[in-house]
Structure 1
Amino acid sequence: MRPAAWPWWVRVLAVWSAARLVSAALLLVAATRQEALGAVPAQPSYGTFVSLMFDGDWYRRIAEDGYPSTLPRGADGLVVQNAWAFYPLFPGLVRLVVAVTGASWEVTAPALATVLGAAAALVVHRVVERGAPAACTARPGLPLATVALLAVFPTAVVTQVAYTESLALLLVALVLLGLVGRRYALVAVAVVLLGFTRSVALPVAAVVGVHALVRLVRARRGEEPLRPSGAAGLVGLGVLAVASGFAWPAVTGWVTGVEDAYLQTQGAWRGVREVTPFGALGYATRFWLGGWAVPGLVGAFALLGGLLLLPAARRLAPELRAWPAAYVLYLAAVVEPGSSTARFLLLAFPYAAVVAGLVTRPAVARRAWLAAVVVLSLVLQAVWVLTIWVFTPPADWPP
């Protein structure tokens, strides 16, 4: 049977698995360059390398020991780096699987992340297929092409290590699938879980707002009915998204007895401890880009914003355009730009649909464009893995 005749889900899993094998090979090469670091020996095994490096060790500690009841502080009285910066759902799931199977963290954490990543790829395919029919008509095969570009994204390697990206990607995709399919119970469950996975639930509220506005406009045009109860439900969904965005900081403050415990903990990882909206853009970009900070910022926002104005983006559902716009703006507001920024962009997966849809015909041009982007992405992935994922003691930049 030719691959084109395979069921859609087989093709998705085949593409995703092939990309993960390439990433695994890159990680194995990177492991040979790793010096001894804490619990990680020099030239560690694959399981150790992908489960205990960087944030993986924090998640292991959470899974095995939980969170501290008080905020750890240094001799100067300032809060030091601690487990409260990391959300509980992924390590909690790993702990459950370990309890059931008896497998080790080194086996369970990357295996679960890999399975969740594959599930996310399936949902992403469905989101593009059902949420962007016009785009799929203009560019046949767009859902699978989107999955392919997402699979080889330079930082997609984190979907098979002990990080939360796989779970967060799955939940974000479920939110968008629920919105385009009018399955609001699915959206509610996904956004609540997202609130305990990563700090990305707040921009979901903006997407819900865009969705509600589209429903209202269509109702006034007589294209789609919207009853008062339905409108109230959408308002409630937006409120739920906002509440989910503040849930983990609230839990952190309640358990530790320090109202802004989460913000103080986040400040321990920053070059400047004060966490203010958009406050890090200035000093962080000056640190990385020097005199090119302003042109660099303008160029980055122009690129990311301009992509969403192209015909390939306008053919996507409003929700698929609203999510990357809201998410990137949110990142600019709350994240200190640094070596982890490229990893965060993985969740803005509708950009992959835009890039894949830039060339629509003829078929040979579509394939050539997709192949070129895939090759470039894999080259950048190799650079990212071999430079960022390898930690050089005593200090280095984290992925």
Structure 2
Amino acid sequence: MLAPRRWPWAVQVLAVYAVARLVTALVLVVVSRWQEANLWTDAAPSYTAWTGRMWDASWYQQIADHGYPSELPVDADGNVQQNVWAFYPLFPFLVRAVQQVTGLGWDVVAPTVALLCGAGAMLVIYRLVERAGHLAVERRPGLPLATVALVSAFPSSVVLQVAYTEALALLLVAGALYLLWARRYEWAGLVILLLGFTRAVALPLAVVVAWHAVVRYREWRRERGTAAPSAPVAAAGGGRATGVEPSGGPPVLPRTRVPWREVARVGGLFVVAALSGLVWQVLCGIATGRTDAYLLTQGAWRGTGPVVPFLPWVDVSRALFGTVGPWVLVLVLAAVAAVGLSPVARRLGPELQAWPLAYLGYLVAVIEPWTSIVRFLLLAFPLGAVTLGWTRSRWWFWGCLAAGVAGQAWWVWSLWRLTPPSGWPP
């Protein structure tokens, strides 16, 4: 039992989240004693400095302080250099607004905003699993709170209390999925639009919206096909009413109108999701005067040349496993697909089932897989519910939780802690 059942559900969720974040804070404080002086902090930095400045957090702070440049920085040969256009604006501008209201510094405000966004995300995740995944909850009572616990303890859940955008993105993704399930399409569109200014993950939501439309169409066809006749049809020649065609065919069903209003709403949401996945790239091109500015910037951050879909995964698989690497990659992707298409995943509902499949497929298409993949996987949170939905065993749950906490210790020590002059990005 994670929390007393007499507590309101929101209190239970926040209590679980608070305990998880305290454990993570302890890990951060302990490991920070071994942090050497680096570009961003002194040796053995304070908790706020370590969570507010390390790695990409410094880039977000630069955006909050100075905004975005009107020209891409280039070297002597004209090659685009790493720059802030790779980072989306909603989180740093939100932090800046809170700073102006409170008068507090970045090191305090940025991790706190992330922490609060993470709390909001856990509340939405609980409600989403409880309602959209009610079939899974019937088989595995306690699944919503257990999912919250597992996501809160995930190895890269450390980013829910540092100056990164994952907490805000998790809140917006979970909120969009909940609103989509509730068929509140206009509000879902607003949330997805905000997501388009938070992280580059809005495009896979367009796939989820499309699948939601397919499911809704099937439901409409099923309702249409099982509707009772509005009135019996008289047989030819004035015979008694039989409810069948004169030729003895199937019952005559009432004509049901196509729900064009709902079709338009879902279609509009799909367009919003697709455009939200591209709006930042377009704005980057307009502001800098180069239509390919965003792709050039991403290429500079990769350091391996132009952005080519899918190819980096093949290259990394070969680097890790040699000539059999691509086959290993195929097996791993097939295993993930099998989990996502499993009966346990289907019981979570179409939205929760479709999101991790669409999102992970998107990652395979657009990112270079390396150490940051652990952080990216946090947004595939429905897989946590799938992991726990296989069994009611408490040993399995506590084992997964312990593995997550151990993974956090590894993640902070190996990735967040930097041993100059260089390290693997978290």
Q: TM-score, normalised by structure 2?
A: 0.90
Q: Tell me which amino acid in the other structure corresponds to 2:87.
A: F
CA–CA separation in structure 2 for the residues paired with 1:398 and 1:285: 19
Identical residues among aligned pairs (%): 50
- Quote the offset at 1:302 in angstroms: 2.5
Match of 1:183 in 2: 184
- Quote the offset at 1:300 in angstroms: 2.3
Q: Do residues 382 (structure 1) and 409 (structure 2) align?
A: yes
Match of 1:328 in 2: 360
CA–CA separation in structure 1 for the residues paired with 2:23 and 2:11: 18
Alpha-carbon distance change, 296 to 23 in structure 1, aligned in 2, over 3 angstroms: farther
Q: Do residues 53 (structure 1) and 54 (structure 2) align?
A: yes
Q: What CA deviation, in whole Å up to 9, does each residue of 1:228-275 have, x standing for no partner?
A: 111011111101111000000001000000101000000011142211
Residue 30 of structure 1 contacts residue 389 of structure 1 at CA under 8 Å; is this kept in 2?
Answer: no
Greater Cα radius of gyration, structure 1 or 2:
2
Aligned pairs for 1:123-272 within 5 A: 123-222=124-223, 227-272=259-304
Residue 355 of structure 2 contacts residue 380 of structure 2 at CA under 8 Å; is this kept in 1?
Answer: yes
Q: Tell me which amino acid in the other structure corresponds to 1:280.
A: P
Q: What CA deviation, in whole Å up to 9, does each residue of 1:292-347 have, x standing for no partner?
A: 52243123212321212332212110111110000000000000001100100100
Residue 174 of structure 1 contacts residue 186 of structure 1 at CA under 8 Å; is this kept in 2?
Answer: no
Residue 216 of structure 1 contacts residue 226 of structure 1 at CA under 8 Å; is this kept in 2?
Answer: no
Q: TM-score, normalised by structure 1?
A: 0.96
CA–CA separation in structure 1 for the residues paired with 2:403 and 2:204: 30
- Greater displacement, 29-38 / 303-312: 303-312
Q: What CA deviation, in whole Å up to 9, does each residue of 1:131-186 have, x standing for no partner?
A: 01110100001100110110111111101100000000000001110111111122
CA–CA separation in structure 2 for the residues paired with 1:288 and 1:153: 24
Residue 10 of structure 2 contacts residue 123 of structure 2 at CA under 8 Å; is this kept in 1?
Answer: yes
Q: Tell me which amino acid in the other structure corresponds to 1:353.
A: A
Residue 207 of structure 1 contacts residue 322 of structure 1 at CA under 8 Å; is this kept in 2?
Answer: yes
- Greater displacement, 176-185 / 54-63: 176-185
Computed over aligned residues only, the root mean square deviation of the Cα atoms, in angstroms, reads: 1.4
Aligned pairs for 1:303-318 within 5 A: 303-318=335-350
CA–CA separation in structure 2 for the residues paired with 1:74 and 1:388: 29
Secondary structure at 1:392's aligned position in 2?
coil
- Quote the offset at 1:212 in angstroms: 0.5
CA–CA separation in structure 2 for the residues paired with 1:141 and 1:100: 40
Q: Tell me which amino acid in the other structure corresponds to 2:290.
A: V
Q: Do residues 368 (structure 1) and 395 (structure 2) align?
A: yes
CA–CA separation in structure 1 for the residues paired with 2:137 and 2:425: 38
Match of 1:28 in 2: 29
Secondary structure at 2:127's aligned position in 1?
helix
CA–CA separation in structure 2 for the residues paired with 1:5 and 1:264: 55
Q: Do residues 356 (structure 1) and 383 (structure 2) align?
A: no
Alpha-carbon distance change, 271 to 299 in structure 1, aligned in 2, over 3 angstroms: farther
Q: Tell me which amino acid in the other structure corresponds to 1:299.
A: L
CA–CA separation in structure 1 for the residues paired with 2:11 and 2:370: 37
Match of 2:251 in 1: none
Q: Tell me which amino acid in the other structure corresponds to 1:339.
A: T
Q: What CA deviation, in whole Å up to 9, does each residue of 1:363-393 have, x standing for no partner?
A: xx2x221111111111122111111111111
- Quote the offset at 1:18 in angstroms: 0.6
Residue 151 of structure 2 contacts residue 384 of structure 2 at CA under 8 Å; is this kept in 1?
Answer: yes
Residue 186 of structure 2 contacts residue 265 of structure 2 at CA under 8 Å; is this kept in 1?
Answer: no
CA–CA separation in structure 1 for the residues paired with 2:324 and 2:105: 47
CA–CA separation in structure 2 for the residues paired with 1:149 and 1:90: 25
CA–CA separation in structure 2 for the residues paired with 1:291 and 1:32: 42
Match of 1:297 in 2: 329
Match of 2:309 in 1: 277
Unaligned runs of 5+ in 1: none
Match of 1:8 in 2: 9
- Quote the offset at 1:226 in angstroms: 5.9
CA–CA separation in structure 2 for the residues paired with 1:329 and 1:10: 35
CA–CA separation in structure 2 for the residues paired with 1:316 and 1:121: 17
Residue 341 of structure 2 contacts residue 353 of structure 2 at CA under 8 Å; is this kept in 1?
Answer: no
How many residue pairs match? The answer is 393
Secondary structure at 1:36's aligned position in 2?
coil
Q: Tell me which amino acid in the other structure corresponds to 2:317.
A: T
